[in-house]
Amino acid sequence: MKKIKKKKNKQKRNVIVVLIMLMVLVFIFWIAPNYKREDNKQLTFILNNEDLSKKIEKAIIVEDNNVVYMGINDIKELLDANLFYNKDDRQIITTSNMHTCYIKPLEAKIELNGVTLELTNPIKEKEGTLYLPISELKTVYNIEITYIKNENTVIIENLDKEKNKANLSKNTKVKWKETIFSKTVDKLKKGDSVTIIENSGNKWVKVITDNGKIGFVKRKNLTNYYNVRQSMDLNNNTSENYNWKEVKLADITNLDSIEYRKMWIENAVQDIITNEEDGICINFENIKNYEEKYLRLLIELAPRLREVGKKTAVKNNKIINTQKILQIVDKIEGE
């Protein structure tokens, strides 16, 4: 009798062990992937509703007055692919849709669309890397920067991009992945708002909270969808006829010089305004080989013209990739 009882107890233990192992396996293969490890020491960097913390090459610096500094290479990689740094004369040129900005790291000033402005916070150099006070370049890039101290999170938002929001109809947990078994990344109350990142799912909507937490909420918990900002598509290759000031690029010399390009651009802007022309059309007709200096002129010219309501076009574009040019100018003539 005792042997039978022991045998039954052993079988129960074996069943329990098997059930525990199965539960562990279920957790490992099904539930565990829906969780993430938190690193409270690392700063979180959100750019246009995307967590790019792992793409930052040099650590972002946030000073006591909440001034945010970014390394020059990170700005080039994430914010301005056309950023140019001339090491010989220690000058930085950075551009956006409507701004051309010249920065001299050794001087506490910038030249923005022909106007010289003082920098409140100087450019820093640390371990051979230049750090720009990105907080002071908000106007250059038309961005909004928020530092959430208790979350150790920097959020940069491009104000040219569309933004849609919605309110919560009930208290809601924001999940890291599209399942109730996933880790909760934030807790929201009824009436709180979230920014919509992606709204294509069936049951879940990808959002970002005011705390900079990216995750998913159930669609049924969202109400009162509303648009905060429309997208500003400034590059428009229309078929309209314009009154251009046509310039043959081969006639322009000394384009390797930053100071010469600045002078040429400012003179061209004033001529166009005086003559009431619609913009400049750069003619590549006599250019046989691609040179970086020609592209630099277009990069620095186009934003400066847009700022005064004028356009930039190219003609006979045989040596530069059309898609690349369309990311810079407003129109390609002759196509």
pLDDT digits (tens, 9 = 90+) for 162-218: 999 999 999 999 999 998 888 999 999 999 999 999 988 789 999 999 999 999 999
129 CB burial (10 A radius; 0-12, 13-18, 19+): middle
- Equal fold, 44-146 vs 244-333: no
Considering the domain 244-333, what is its CATH architecture?
Alpha-Beta Barrel (3.20)
3-state secondary structure the chain: CHHHHHHHHHHHHHHHHHHHHHHHHHHHHHHHHHCCCCCCCCCEEEECCEECHHHCCCCCEECCCCCEEEEHHHHHHHCCCCCEEECCCCEEEEECCCCEEEECCCCCEEEECCEEEECCCCCEEECCEEEEEHHHHHHHHCEEEEEEHHHCEEEEEECCCCEEEEEECCCEEEECCCCCCCCEEEEECCCCEEEEEECCCCCEEEEECCCCCEEEEEHHHEEEEEEEECCCCCCCCCCCCCCEEEEEHHHCCCCCCHHHHHHHHHHHHHHHHHHCCCEEEEECCCCCCCCHHHHHHHHHHHHHHHHCCCEEEEECCCCCCHHHHHCCCCEEECC
What is the edge-to-edge ordering of all strands in the sheet holding 143-148?
A: 50-51, 44-47, 153-158, 143-148
Name the pLDDT band for 32 (thresholds 50, 70, 90).
very low
pTM score of the predicted model:
0.81
CA–CA separation, 102 vs 100, rounded Å? 7
**Relative orientation angle of helices 258-275 and 292-307, to the nearest 10 degrees:** 40
What percent of the chain has pLDDT above 90?
56
Instruction: Render pLDDT for 124-176 as a digit per residue (tens, 0 to 9).
Output: 988 889 999 999 999 999 999 999 999 999 999 999 999 999 999 999 999 99
pLDDT digits (tens, 9 = 90+) for 283-293: 877 766 667 77
Tokens 């909420």 correspond to 217
Question: Are residues 256 and 293 in contact, defined by beta-carbon separation less than 8 angstroms?
Answer: yes
Is the pLDDT at 10 greater than 80? The verdict is: no
**CATH code, 162-229:** 2.30.30.40
Q: Extract the tokens encoding 269.
A: 């802007």
State the average pLDDT for the chain.
85
Q: Residue 8's pLDDT is what?
A: 55
What is the pLDDT at residue 231? 84
- pLDDT value for 154: 96
Domain edges within the chain: 44-146, 162-229, 244-333
Q: What dotted CATH number matches 44-146?
A: 3.30.457.10
Query: At residue 16, does pLDDT exceed 80?
Result: no
- 99-109 pLDDT, tens per residue? 999 998 888 88
Between 6-15, 166-175, 236-245, the lowest mean confidence (pLDDT) is in: 6-15
Q: Is the pLDDT of residue 49 over 50?
A: yes
CA–CA gap between residue 208 and residue 128 (Å, rounded): 35
Percent of the chain surpassing pLDDT 70 = 81
